[in-house]
């Protein structure tokens, strides 16, 4: 719904699930009053709670936050694939017209991060420098899949990172 505040959207989604404010609060370990504050747009949930809320409400993070279309979704714990079976895809469309796709098994990426390795740059592309792959792994462990990061650099490069 267009022009819906976070609180209005959150209320609608909670009610669609047939939950009271208290029931939702209990599921995530907060008071019904805190849920009420979110619904009245008096405060917002902490970032760390958003993934759990999206799972409980059965929507993507983008939907919860009001973005209408999404390539990103939260997969419920019982439906998640093993991280050993997932792939990290990095797609770079450079301003010079080059298109590069790197497909890495997530298991290898995770092992490399645990060993302290840095992700290699693709053709010296600086757009990847600020991306924290350890945080991406944590999001995937919480059930987030799809397009996780999009970077449009000042140089005109577009970088997209997916986990599938």
Count helices and strands (H / E) in the chain: 7, 5
Give me the pLDDT at residue 89, please.
86
Provide the H-helix boundaries in 3-143: 6-16, 21-28, 32-39, 47-57, 61-65, 106-114, 133-141
State how far the Cα of 57 lies from the Cα of 68, in Å rounded to an integer: 16
State how far the Cα of 127 lies from the Cα of 156, in Å rounded to an integer: 10
| Residue indicated by tokens 């209408």 | 68
Q: What phi, psi does 93 have (nearest 5°)?
A: -110, 110
State how far the Cα of 124 lies from the Cα of 26, in Å rounded to an integer: 48
- Could you read off the pLDDT tens digit of each residue along the chain, which spans 164 residues? 457 899 999 998 899 889 999 999 999 999 999 999 999 999 999 888 998 998 888 777 878 888 755 567 778 878 788 888 898 888 888 888 888 888 889 999 888 888 887 665 554 566 666 778 888 888 888 888 888 888 877 788 888 888 88
Give me the pLDDT at residue 44, please.
92
**At CB < 8 A and 24+ separation, what contacts does 107-114 make?**
107/83, 109/133, 109/137, 110/83, 110/137, 113/137
Alpha carbon distance, N-terminus to C-terminus of the chain: 28
Q: What phi, psi does 83 have (nearest 5°)?
A: -60, -25
Nearest to 51 by CA among 156, 139, 161: 139
CA 16 to chain CA centroid, Å, is 22
Give me the pLDDT at residue 61, please.
82
């Amino acid at each position: 719904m267009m022009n819906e505040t976070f609180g209005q959207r959150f209320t609608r989604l909670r009610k669609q699930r047939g939950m009271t404010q208290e029931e939702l609060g209990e599921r995530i370990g907060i008071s019904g009053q805190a849920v009420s504050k979110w619904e009245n747009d008096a405060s917002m949930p902490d970032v760390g709670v958003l993934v759990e809320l999206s799972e409980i409400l059965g929507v993507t993070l983008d939907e919860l936050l009001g973005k209408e279309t999404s390539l990103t979704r939260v997969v419920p714990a019982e439906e998640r694939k093993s991280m050993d079976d997932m792939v990290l895809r990095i797609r770079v469309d450079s301003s010079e017209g080059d298109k590069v796709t790197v497909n890495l098994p997530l298991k290898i990426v995770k092992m490399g991060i645990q060993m302290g390795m840095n992700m290699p740059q693709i053709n010296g592309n600086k757009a990847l420098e600020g991306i924290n792959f350890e945080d991406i792994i944590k999001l995937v462990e919480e059930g987030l899949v799809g397009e996780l990061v999009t970077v449009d650099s000042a140089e005109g490069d577009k970088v997209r990172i997916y986990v599938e």
